[in-house]
Amino acid sequence: MHYFVTGATGFIGKRLVKTLLARRGSKLHFLLREGSQAKLAALYKYWGVSKARAIPVVGDLRSKKLGVSAADLGALKGQFDAVYHLAAIYDLNADAQHQIEVNIDGTRNLVGFAQAVGARHLHHVSSIAAAGLYDGVFREDMFDEAKHAEHPYFMTKHESEKIVRRECKLPWTVYRPALVVGDSQSGEMEKIDGPYYFFKAIQRMRQLLPPWFPAVGLEGGRINIVPVDFVVRCIDHISHIGRGPLKKPRVEIDGKTFHVVDPSGYRIGEVLDIFSKAAHAPKMNLYVNAALLGFVPAGVKKGLLAMPAVRRLRSAVMKNLGLPEDVMSFLNWPTRYDHRALDAALAGSGIECPRLEDYAWVLWDYWERHLDPALFIDRSLQGAVGGKVVLVTGGSSGIGLASACRFAQAGATTLICARDADKLAAAVREIEAYARERGNAEPKVFSYGADIANEASCAALVQTIQEQHEGVDFLINNAGRSIRRAIESSYERFHDFERTMQLNYFGSLRITLGLLPGMVAKKAGHVVNLSSISVLVNAPRFSAYVASKAALDAWTRCAGAEFADRGVTFTTVNMPLVRTPMTAPTKIYDSMPLLTPEEAAEMIVQACIDKPVRVATRLGVFGEVLQAVAPRVTQVAMNTTFRMFPDSAAAQGDTSGKGSGKGSERGSERGSERGKPGARTKLSAEAIALSQMMRGIHF
């Protein structure tokens, strides 16, 4: 048989062409746009044929009779047993005019071409969208009964099918596939559409919560999903009924419509739950009927959405979830689809629609490996900071030093500041050596002696950076002071609270406010403020430290809101406890599984690459949620840990000087009992087990 196919380069079309060409003695012509010849080699390889069996016809769907010349029309006349029309726009985001030109005008031009060449049969691939949002069961013999087809996609699919029904003088058959997803065997898909819009939200839920965590989902209306291989097999089989050896068809297909749908059908909540299970994300244990939102009068909703602030907020939420603007309109999809004609046509063929539960994991796996938008974003640190200026405060040791090494390796102009000139010089040598060993032959590393807790010193640092580097692109507020002392031991030590606020809060603000105007002027910049997991869990013994970091967290949230439209972004990193020189004097930490500076640096690196609002561990997020849901339970739990772990030697009044130095405020952890300094602290087995379970928590 001899065929003509439009949309042969598309997702469904190229698979249908391959299936048609698998028939013995088959041959086809296919429409090819001018300038698309570069696709031919890949198409022929996919189809497994040469140009002798698949012949391109250069034309344009938007031109009358496809833009094919009169001479070529004459040469093609009488050759085609069947014409398959698949070329169309299948995209909710496409503008209305483009959809009209392709879906409606294109179909009219195709009908004109098919009649001009005297094709024997026209097979038009429409969509269930032609039914609009009909409330109830839409039969295969229904058309004019379509309702609520105002959306451009629904409208153009309905009108294009009308052209075939009313204007085509050839025998015709219409196929209305449901929402088409990837191949049920390979998962192959070419774009994000239909249920794929929700995959990113499912992925984020999986990243935040364990699989066993109970989730709440929307029940929604019923949607119908079919894999592309099922659609192709149905069209191929039905279009050949009564052709070739089947001279007396069991089913009449002329002037008939077939709903190529899954006979089961699923509610939207069920579909999301099936894909959540495939993704190992939390299962939805409770469903909320989306129809409950219908109590808001349509006029009120329309009025709210007319407000610029509401529209902007809605757009931001939809963009963050990766959802098109119109997708929420279909949550209560009211239509179910009759498929008795399809069942009769497929009887005895062995063609059945596979269950979504059986192939959902294949679709998910293919999406995550090939279509996840994150795959097409440069997620490397070099892509984020290469050639940029990065300032790391407190960069001479610990987390700051480990982070600066990563930035220098990635090709950033790396600036570090600290108070100790000797440590800064040693840090520069270490950073340069690290970068050279890992491929950056000429790292650019600069050090500046400064105390950001001192207003004059901080101002001088900002001025120097502006003069020498014209500001910074990334600011990492890492410098900080931590004091481990119970409130009972702090009655006469108000300066503890002043010191932590002076460095952790005011110091970070001074350097940020000094460099922020330059970022605003460039409309680009990112500030990473290192906070603590203790802010999320309200760790006892760290009240001075937690209060200063909580103040910085609150300021960061306010700044993020103010500068959201100015190109400057902010990230808070709620850092777990890290093994650094600052923790070394606290000897009980020797028995605890703390993070390494390199692991902490990785969290900062991700903050610079992804620029999220917050970076936190699951344990930290769980602690914050528990505090919000059951604050009294959280208090009891943290009080238990408070009594389980001993005070530091400094907190117990050990003035022997053995714990002196920068870390002495955190204590040398000598003295196994209160008021008895001198004996080495030993943790109980219970305390060690708890620290292993709650890695990174400040005890």
Q: Which H or E run includes 426?
A: helix 421-437
3-state secondary structure (DSSP) of residue 392: strand
Q: Which tokens sit at 412?
A: 């950033």
How is 350-376 classified by DSSP, letter by letter?
T--PPPHHHHHHHHHHHIIIII-GGGG
Q: What value does the CA radius of gyration of the chain take, rounded to a whole number of Å? A: 33
**Residue closest to 342 by CA, chosen among 186, 506, 174, 117:** 174
Q: 122: burial class by Cβ within 10 Å (0-12, 13-18, 19+)?
A: buried
Measure the CA–CA gap between 694 and 248, rounded to whole angstroms.
74
CB-based contacts of 195, cutoff 8 Å, min separation 6: 179, 181, 223, 225, 271, 272, 275
Measure the CA–CA gap between 147 and 681, rounded to whole angstroms.
77
Q: Which is the catalytic residue, given 84, 196, 545, 589?
A: 545
Measure the CA–CA gap between 21 and 25, rounded to whole angstroms.
8
Q: Based on the residue annotation, tell me whether 545 is a catalytic residue of this protein.
A: yes
**Residue closest to 483 by CA, chosen among 470, 497, 494:** 497
CA distances from 259 to 64, 173, 523, 639 (A): 29, 11, 52, 64
Place of tokens 């088409």: 180
Q: Which tokens sit at 123?
A: 């097979």
CB-based contacts of 96, cutoff 8 Å, min separation 6: 152
CB-based contacts of 536, cutoff 8 Å, min separation 6: 574, 616, 620, 621, 623, 624, 627
Give the other-Cβ count within 10 Å of 640's Cβ.
11
Measure the CA–CA gap between 469 and 465, rounded to whole angstroms.
5
3-state secondary structure (DSSP) of residue 591: helix
Place of tokens 């400057």: 568
**Residue closest to 397 by CA, chosen among 436, 423, 435, 419:** 423
| Dihedral (Cα; 535, 537, 543, 545), 10-degree rounding | -40
Strands 215-218 and 82-85: unpaired
| Dihedral (Cα; 228, 230, 235, 240), 10-degree rounding | 140
Query: 586 near 667, Cβ under 8 Å?
Result: yes
Query: 505 near 482, Cβ under 8 Å?
Result: no
**Residue closest to 101 by CA, chosen among 87, 112, 113, 114:** 87
Measure the CA–CA gap between 549 and 556, rounded to whole angstroms.
10
Measure the CA–CA gap between 89 and 153, rounded to whole angstroms.
8
Q: 481: burial class by Cβ within 10 Å (0-12, 13-18, 19+)?
A: buried
Positions marked catalytic:
545
